Amino acid sequence: MIEGFAAQLAISHITHKDLSRLESILDLMEKSIRENNFKKVIKYNLSFHQKIVSLSKNGNLAKVYGSMLLPVRRYQKMGLSLHSSWEVSLEEHRKILEELNSRDIKRAEEMCRNHVLRAEKRLIDCLVSSRKGG
């Protein structure tokens, strides 16, 4: 998973300022959840993932991630279309941030990988549910 690999790379040179920026993104995401603002939840969710990839300082990884953004955003919107998944995603992001802050490479990668896998499961559940309903 790209974000997991990016987290591994980022840990070796991530700064307090970088961690603060990630925390700010999550605070904005949380505020957007409280305001029930779907567009902003999606925006800050994506910003969190992009920032981790950016912090890897790996141009090739960033290019690959960038090339996948359009289809990823489409499915991300579907997976986050259920309000109940917003808080779950935010909590998973906070756990990723904790591991980045602790500089635990293995746990940070694991948290990123598991977050993406759980997001995929939420998307599949959403698709199955919409198919049953329609």
Query: Which percentage of the chain shows pLDDT scores above 70?
Result: 86
Listed in sequence order, the DSSP H helices in the chain are 2-11, 16-34, 38-55, 59-79, 83-102, 105-133
CA distance 131 to 56: 38
Q: How far apart are CA 94 and CA 84, in angstroms?
A: 16
d(CA 19, CA 4): 16
DSSP 82: S
Contact 5/56 with Cβ under 8 angstroms? yes
pLDDT given at position 68:
82
Chain segment 46-61, per-residue pLDDT in tens: 999 999 999 999 999 9
Tokens 């300082």, residue located: 57
Of 89, 77, 83, 78, give the one whose Cα is nearest residue 118.
89
Specify the DSSP element, H or E, that contains 81: none
pLDDT above 70 for 128:
yes
Question: Model confidence over 67-89: pLDDT tens digits?
Answer: 887 766 666 666 566 667 889 99
- Cβ count near 125 (within 10 Å): 13
Average pLDDT for the chain: 88
Residue 76 tokens, joined: 């991300």
Q: How confident is the model at residue 32 (pLDDT cuts 50, 70, 90)?
A: very high
User: Superfamily assignment of 2-133 in CATH?
Assistant: GntR ligand-binding domain-like (1.20.120.530)
Confidence (pLDDT) at 74: 65
Look at residue 63 and tell me whether its pLDDT is greater than 70: yes
Per-domain boundaries in the chain: 2-133
Q: What are the distances in angstroms from CA 26 to CA 35, 127, 129?
A: 14, 26, 28
